[in-house]
Structure 1
Amino acid sequence: MSAPTKKIARHEDMENGDDSSDSEYDSDPAEEGYTGGEEIQVTFEGRIPSDPDFHGIKQLLKQLFLKAHINLSELTEILIGQSNIGSVVKQSTADEDMDDEDDESDVNDVFGITTVVNITNKKHVECVQQLRQLLTELAEEHADDRIKAFVQKLLSNDSQNVGLLINERFVNIPPQISVPLLQGLSKEIQSAKDKKLAYDFQYYILISKLYKSDPTSKKKKNKKTGQPEPDILFSNAEEEVFDEEADLKFEFSVKNDSDSGMVGGWMEDDATMTPYRRVLIISAGKMDTIITKINAFVN
């Protein structure tokens, strides 16, 4: 039995060429009679995460954390266990009824996940300890002194709840889908707060995936310094708004942590783009404003 539907996402058109990943999970268009230049319309909906989603969620977490030492199985179990918080993106049950292979269930059944986990309240859980250690180490290595001090203070202050915001999906799913997912998450957090549950966050941390071109090959220059600037491409376009609203941020290259073969990997033509992770620290009070801006940004 599928998990209850929580919200409906809009119809999305996925054209041939949007995702040419060499992931082992990709299907062969020739086998499916797909000749290219066609549009496939799929309806997505947000559902409560449930046990059958375990492998799909874990695979999405892998594309975010790459080789980081995080117990992703335990983190996935936590996300599924938060039955009142978060959504996984699934194909609509109406679409599934039209699919002759709808009885088959594999990792591709989960197209995305939008949720949050309290890394203050759950700091004694192994995977959360690892997340906190990772954030501390990354700040120490890649952030300036002011941000290092802030991260250290934030993670050592148990009176301030910090939520790790997780917003992962296949790269070929358009950003419009993020609006109902984030709106739903915001309502769920407020409902949990009303019930005195541990979701009264003061800050969110979002680890955003982005790609940068070689600035020396571009004509674009910084207006202040006159130095070449790289082109920046956010894997999830709506996270550009989170980036603009972030209180603090720092970034680091993951070029040496190969993500080839990960879910939603980039096309071969994009190989010149260097993958980065940008850690965004955002005041929780900005969330509704951010969602409103995202709605305007993607529509």
Structure 2
Amino acid sequence: MASMAKRRALDAERDSESEETSEGSGQSSEEELDEEVQVDFEAHTISDSDCNGIKRLLQQLFLKASVNITELADLIIQQNYVGSVIRQAEILDENSEDNEEDGVFGFISVLNLTEKKGTEPVEQIKDLVLSQCKVHHQIAAQQLEKILNDNSKSVNLLISERFINVPPQIALPLHKQLQAELVDAQKTGKPCGKCHYYLLICKACVEIGKKIPHQRGKQKENLMFANAEDEFFYEQSIMKFSYNVEEESDSCLSGRWAFDDVPMKPLRVVMLIPTDHLTVVMDKLKEYLSV
């Protein structure tokens, strides 16, 4: 899958080239920073070698929250019959150093919170979500706690993380592949194949001075999602609230890109979506993200 990405910094080779060609060009270095380059991404089955990359992406989601990132990554890798990692397609230039240390630019997966009940990261995630819900959406806290502890109606944690400079178009094939894998898992009776709700914890931010939407989708227009497709999940959620992670994060969205000259407040947005609402979400993804 091919996508367009913007580089916010130039490598040493390009810097030296620009010095040779800049005389008389009249172009500023800032203009060069907006140069678009073609980057090809590929989706691969999650494997043991992806552990460090997945942990790094989980860390940018959970920041300083009390969640065992290492064990959570292990759980995701153990059930690699669902989910994918995003890698840059193999390139011919052996001197290129653009890849991440282990080549993982993003991943998508689900974890059945009901089936994995009792494991340390799952209980920590449930505690995190419920504690924030009690603060920011008291009306829904009791309902959410009942849903998360109801063994008869399982809940899948949907995690879709990628670096900020990976464009949103990549989300459509990843979500389509994930849904196909979940159908296969259900047919073979594997965990996560069947669930009643999806729980999402998404990265977002809001301009400083504007209201943070805490409940029932109020001030939705103030939200800026790190992953553009998360807005479609937000629209279909039956429960949602946001909480501030400003004291836990050094930058707005924990990536390589910051919003130009606009002070932003980083948030995490929690959403609960009935499984039968996913059809609408997928239709929206196809409509807005098809290339």
User: Which interval holds the TM-score relative to the shorter structure?
Assistant: 0.7 to 0.9
Distance of aligned partners of 1:84 and 1:40 in 2 relative to their CA distance in 1, 3 Å threshold: same
Partner of 1:31: 12
Q: 1:82: how far off?
A: 1.1
- 1:123 matched residue in structure 2: 117
Greater shift in the superposed pair: 260-269 or 175-184: 260-269
Q: Which of 183, 186, 195 is the equivalent residue of 2:176?
A: 183
Letter matched to residue 130 of structure 1: Q
Q: Does 1:69 align with 2:50?
A: no
3-state SS of 1:111 partner: strand
3-state DSSP of counterpart to 1:264 = coil
- Identical aligned pairs, as a percentage? 34
Q: What TM-score, normalized by structure 1, do the two folds share?
A: 0.82
**Which residue type is aligned with residue 277 of structure 1?**
R
For residue 131 of structure 2, what is the aligned residue in structure 1?
137
Q: Quickly say closer, same or farther: Cα 1:71–1:216, change in 2 above 3 A.
A: closer
| 1:142–1:250 CA contact under 8 A, matched in 2 | yes
Residue 45 of structure 1 and its aligned partner are, at CA, apart by 1.1
Name the SS of the counterpart of 1:141 in structure 2.
Answer: helix
- In the alignment, does 2:191 pair up with 1:198? yes
In 1, Cα distance between equivalents of 2:204 and 2:272: 16
Q: Does 1:113 align with 2:102?
A: no
Q: Hey, what does 1:241 align to over in structure 2?
A: 232
Task: Report the CA distance shift for 1:190/1:230 in structure 2 as closer, same or farther (over 3 A).
Answer: closer
Alignment match, 2:3: 12
The higher-RCO structure (CA 8 Å, 6+ apart) is: 1
Q: Is the 1:212–1:275 contact (alpha carbons within 8 Å) kept by the matching residues of 2?
A: yes
Report the Cα offset of residue 230 of structure 1. Answer: 6.6
Q: Does the 8 A contact of 1:66 with 1:259 survive in 2?
A: no
SS in 1 for 2:263: coil
SS of the residue aligned with 2:14?
coil
Equivalent residues in 2 for 1:19-58 (5 A)?
Answer: 29-33=10-14, 35=18, 36=32, 37-58=34-55
User: 1:103 offset after TM fit, Å?
Assistant: 10
SS at match of 1:208: strand
1:220-231 counterparts in 2 under 5 A?
Answer: 231=222
Question: Is the 8 Å Cα contact of residues 245 and 282 (structure 1) preserved in structure 2?
Answer: yes
Quote the Cα distance in structure 2 between the aligned partners of 1:283 and 1:100. 47
With normalisation by structure 2, the TM-score equals: 0.84
Unaligned runs of 5+ in 1: 1-8, 18-27, 218-226
Aligned to 2:242: 251
Counterpart residue number, 2:163: 170
Is there any run of 5+ residues in structure 2 with no aligned partner, and where?
19-31, 212-217
How big is the alpha-carbon RMSD for the aligned residues of Structure 1 and Structure 2? 2.5
Residue 216 of structure 1 and its aligned partner are, at CA, apart by 5.6
Using a 3 Å threshold, how does the CA distance of structure 1 residues 286 and 44 change in structure 2: closer, same or farther?
same
Secondary structure of 1:163's partner? strand
For these two proteins, the number of residue pairs brought into alignment is 267
Superposed displacement of residue 271, structure 1: 5.3
